[in-house]
Amino acid sequence: MTVEVTRLASGLTVATESMPHLETATLGVWVGAGSRSEQAAEHGISHLLEHMAFKGTTTRSARRIAEEIEAVGGEINAATSVENTCYYARILADDLALSADILADILTRSVFDPEELERESHVVLQEIGAADDAPEDLVFDLLQERAFPDQPIGRPILGTPETVAAFRREHLTDYLDRHYLTSAAVVTAAGRVDHAQVVALVEDRFAEMPTGAAPAEDTATWVGGEVREVRDLSEAQVTLGFEGRPYASPDHHAAQILATVLGGGMSSRLFQEIREKKGLCYSVSAFHWGYRETGLFGIHAATGEDDLDRLMVGLGEEIVRVIDDVDEAEVRRAKAQLRAGLLMSLESPVSRASQIARQMLIWGRPLETREILEKVEAVDRPQLLRLAGEIFLGSTPTLAYVGPVGGAVGADAFAERLTRRA
């Protein structure tokens, strides 16, 4: 499979991958603007805009948008992340033109009716309330916020009740005009698609998309520290974070492998030691999120109040162990997990369209699968040991707690444990 790329005269990029053995296709528009693109008074507007895009255009009502795509058995959706927002449709391959027409319509001709905005703002307020009622979700927002305090990258994607309730139509149109530009967007398609056909559709349907340069974003600065929200719950939710590596860093794939060794599955150290041997929690995992100029290496677990101190001791012990040594067999197993995940994703048009879009937005080109696999394979044990020391001892840890956590260890004390034992 080969990715074909065309850059239109308007500045909009079109990238496709043909999967001719399929009967379906995914077409999407990825915009390089997410929650970190927002000014302080715009907190949550990226996510609200994603909702409002489906609430009516100059040619279609909200109901008609839904009915047209579902009349052909397709589905349309959107998602907002820290650094981008995507709008995509999954359809039968013969309905590609319809999906292009609807996506272009919602992104270039949305009306943002004030009554619809008031209703949808209320829906988002319910979503914010639901997230606050879910401690397993809230603890991740608190982790990000404490790691990057008072910065756009650290703000929760959903916004706050105050900011969301204050948005008016002009706020949405102003944000759209500044960020939803041809230079900051990529249209991708994967499945049974023909590149020339997709290019022609995009050139025609997205002719109204504005051009220009998107505003520069603030550079993120890792701070770290601790935050705890004491609640009367049966479980204590814990996230522990350290500064990770950017997407383009030579250590990005090594950070992914390190996270897999430490907490990436049932064979990982954290699962085997913390859950299986010590029985301190039901689930425990490690993860690595890359951003443009920084990253977040994290651990998540949940346990009862009586086991919280033992859990934190155990996490510290496993971090020290991975700083001291990584077994070759663990490295091979982690690489196999990453390879399998990548190769399996090649079979999904949705995954491929998303991967290609992210690559285009980050590197300006699609990455060959072989290239990614070679980078994963090139990671060796010395690199992982060096990186483990740099990540776990080189940045201020971030601790976020939700639940019966009043007496939980603080970030400074936890950092001292790592330094003393290492």
Domain boundaries, the chain: 3-205, 225-421
Give the span between the Cα atoms of 140 and 61, in whole angstroms.
36
For the segment 30-41, what is each residue's pLDDT rounded down to a tens digit?
999 999 999 999
Give the dihedral of Cα atoms 311, 284, 332, 247; nearest 10 deg.
-110
Catalytic-role residue among 17, 38, 42, 50: 50
Domain at 3-205: CATH code: 3.30.830.10
What are the helix (H) ranges across 245-380? 252-263, 269-270, 308-324, 328-345, 349-363, 369-378
Put simply, whether the predicted model's pTM sits higher than 0.75 gets the answer: yes
Which CATH architecture describes the domain 225-421? Answer: 2-Layer Sandwich (3.30)
8 Å CB contact between 274 and 239: no
CA angle 85, 87, 91 (to 5 degrees): 155
Mean model confidence pLDDT for the chain: 96
Give the span between the Cα atoms of 244 and 247, in whole angstroms.
10
What are the helix (H) ranges across 148-208? 161-166, 169-179, 195-205
Looking at residue 226, what is its pLDDT?
Answer: 97
Q: Same CATH fold, 225-421 and 3-205? A: yes
Q: Which residues does the chain have with pLDDT short of 50? A: none
Looking at residue 421, what is its pLDDT?
Answer: 64
Give the span between the Cα atoms of 394 and 244, in whole angstroms.
10
For the segment 292-322, what is each residue's pLDDT rounded down to a tens digit?
999 999 999 999 999 999 999 999 999 999 9
CA angle 340, 346, 352 (to 5 degrees): 130
Non-local CB neighbours of 406 within 8 Å, separated by 6+ positions: 228, 230
CA-wise closest residue to 248 among 140, 137, 340, 359: 359
Give the span between the Cα atoms of 78 and 60, in whole angstroms.
18
Strand order in the sheet with 185-191: 3-7, 13-18, 185-191, 24-31, 85-92, 75-80
CA-wise closest residue to 222 among 153, 286, 288: 153
Q: How many helices (H) and strands (E) does the chain have?
A: 16, 11
Residue 136 a catalytic site member: no
Radius of gyration for the alpha carbons in the chain, expressed in angstroms and rounded: 23
